[in-house]
Structure 1
Amino acid sequence: MCGDPIGAAERTLRCGNRHSFDLARQGYVNLLHARIPAGTADTAPMVAARADFLASGAYEPLADELARVCAGAGGLVVDAGAGTGYYLARVLETSEAFGLALDVSAVALRRAARAHPRLGAAVWNLWEPWPVGDGVASVVLNVFAPRNGPEFHRVLRPDGLLVVAAPAPDHLRELGDLVLAVDERKDERLDATLGEYFTRSERTEVRREVELTPRQVRQAVEMGPAGFHLDRDGRRERLDALSESQVVTVSFTVSSYRRKE
């Protein structure tokens, strides 16, 4: 993209330099014409696993906490790394805001575009300058996704709120090396990464034990980063051998930040 403002005409987005982008029939737009490295965008099997798993309600407490933190948001909520739009849709249900879902996976955004009537979706690489204007977002939401501090800061209004959700060190600990380990100092590193641009205003924990069926355990593994590595360390074989439900810990931190001027 050239950076000029774009407008919608029927099912096409155009800028003053005559660049155009057609809306897909599923409702999203692909603004990303460059190739991305393999193992970056969620695949169709990963997205299907995530959609089914989230529909089970296993992570609903996290969605409720994000909605609480963002309650009353107006204007624009940008979800950086929105995936299927599950969390953004929950935030929009409790506000009058409009949502923009950004993600590098077109497969995921096919679902996100249908997640809520006030939600738009665009394929984009979060490490590149975003196709979003300066100071236009009331909230930037970031759930288990890459964190681009300069872009968070640029697109947020002066009074805007950045909300970051991340897995806690004990998240899914009962699954052992079927999932990738979470750094014990993750929250400390998060604050350090964002500290140049933001001041943390709140941090809450969401934790509970849930009973997962063998199918749900498989989905929990397949939908995350380990989904790119199912053929390593016998993961696929061990998942195939599961036959009983398992009680696991689901544990997250939700951190809120305010812009530094």
Structure 2
Amino acid sequence: MLTDVIDLLHCPHCTGELTLTGGTAGCPAGHRFDVARQGQLNLLRRSAGANADTAAMVADRVAFLAAGHYAPIAELVASAAVGSVAVEAGAGTGYYLDAVVSRLARTAPGARGLATDVSTYASRRAAKLPRIGAVVADTWAGLPIRSGIADTVLAVFAPRNLEEFARICAPSGRVLVVTPLPAHLAEVRHTAGLMTIEEGKHERLLAEARTCLTHDRHEDLCYRIDLSPDEQRHLIGMGPNAFHTQPAGRPETSIATTVAVRLDVFRHPAASTAPGRGQRAV
């Protein structure tokens, strides 16, 4: 629900505090934003652009994720989350954020999540989830989120603006980033002629983070899944391949493929200056 997270947001025009009055969010400077009837709040300062997920892509994503093929990824991310406030940038339908908030709620009954995505269609789906508010926003344009409010910031297969993640992360919080390893979906990518995984992806992530975050650890997750022809179609249609690749025909047979991802855990730089275990503040 948007009412649960409105205090985490600021105005995208002036960074003033946002409050809700009826179906409108507003700031003291007079900027006003209508809450959509589906529950999401659009805080984009421009049109969404051609990279936003379409309604068809979101439908494919919902169908694929509902089959549980990426449930171990959601469990991995949730196990690394901390605190009671989680923000997911590029959240899509909110699948991973839902797992995180559900895990946090076991020890923090007031746990809540904020999902941001550049796609209105994706945000509509995320807005239906319990304990989660959904905002249409562009990660690269600067998130309309107050500084230092998130205990856990996550980006799963999503654009990474690490400076923004560091800004909104609480000093004791964590930033969780999931990226594909070279073997990820290799069999499907080969058979269907899909986009390849960029070389040096992890090295670039660590290089980008050095100026704003402290790398804590990483954990790899690899397992096999069996995909029916329909599930392959949903997989291909839910991501960037829907824009950039012409698959080699409609899948006609089932296929076994590899899921291979890496979770990187980062800390706010302020945390590295705090006394560690066995140390005493002076």
Q: Report the Cα offset of residue 21 of structure 1.
A: 1.0
> Counterparts of 1:75 and 1:13 in 2: how far apart (Å)?
23
| Identical positions, percent | 40
Specify the alignment match of 1:158 in structure 2: 171
- Alignment match of 1:196 (pick from 211, 217, 240): 211
**Could you tell me which amino acid in structure 1 is paired with residue 23 of structure 2?**
R
Specify the alignment match of 1:55 in structure 2: 66
Secondary structure of the corresponding residue to residue 255 of structure 1: strand
> Counterparts of 1:205 and 1:172 in 2: how far apart (Å)?
15
Residue 27 (structure 2) pairs with residue 15 (structure 1): yes
Does the 8 Å CA contact 1:178/1:221 hold for their aligned counterparts? no
Does the 8 Å CA contact 1:74/1:98 hold for their aligned counterparts? no
Structure 1 residues 178 and 222: CA distance shift in structure 2, 3 A: farther
- Alignment match of 2:157 (pick from 118, 123, 144): 144
> Counterparts of 2:269 and 2:75 in 1: how far apart (Å)?
27
Residue 255 (structure 2) pairs with residue 243 (structure 1): no
- Alignment match of 2:229 (pick from 214, 217, 229): 214
> Counterparts of 1:36 and 1:112 in 2: how far apart (Å)?
17
> Counterparts of 1:119 and 1:12 in 2: how far apart (Å)?
18
> Counterparts of 1:112 and 1:76 in 2: how far apart (Å)?
16
Taking structure 2 as the reference length, the TM-score comes to 0.86
**Structure 1, unaligned runs of 5 or more:** none
Residue 52 (structure 2) pairs with residue 41 (structure 1): yes
Specify the alignment match of 1:5 in structure 2: 17
1:140-170 per-position Cα deviation (integer Å, ceiling 9, x unaligned): 1111111112111111111110000111111
- Alignment match of 1:95 (pick from 83, 90, 104): 104
**Could you tell me which amino acid in structure 1 is paired with residue 122 of structure 2?**
A
1:212-250 per-position Cα deviation (integer Å, ceiling 9, x unaligned): 0001111111111111134x3xx1xx332x221100111
- Alignment match of 1:135 (pick from 148, 151, 158): 148
Taking structure 1 as the reference length, the TM-score comes to 0.92
> Counterparts of 2:24 and 2:221 in 1: how far apart (Å)?
41
Does the 8 Å CA contact 1:191/1:200 hold for their aligned counterparts? yes
**Could you tell me which amino acid in structure 1 is paired with residue 240 of structure 2?**
P
**Could you tell me which amino acid in structure 2 is paired with residue 206 of structure 1?**
L
Displacement over 2 Å in runs of 4+: none
Residue 182 (structure 2) pairs with residue 172 (structure 1): no
**Structure 2, unaligned runs of 5 or more:** 1-12, 106-110, 271-282
Q: Report the Cα offset of residue 179 of structure 1.
A: 2.4
> Counterparts of 1:244 and 1:132 in 2: how far apart (Å)?
45
Specify the alignment match of 2:266 in structure 1: 257
Q: Report the Cα offset of residue 75 of structure 1.
A: 3.3
Structure 1 residues 239 and 93: CA distance shift in structure 2, 3 A: farther
For the aligned residue pairs, the C-alpha RMSD in angstroms reads 1.3
**Could you tell me which amino acid in structure 2 is paired with residue 15 of structure 1?**
C
- Alignment match of 1:224 (pick from 233, 239, 260): 239
Specify the alignment match of 2:119 in structure 1: 105
Secondary structure of the corresponding residue to residue 154 of structure 1: helix
> Counterparts of 2:140 and 2:198 in 1: how far apart (Å)?
22
Specify the alignment match of 1:118 in structure 2: 131
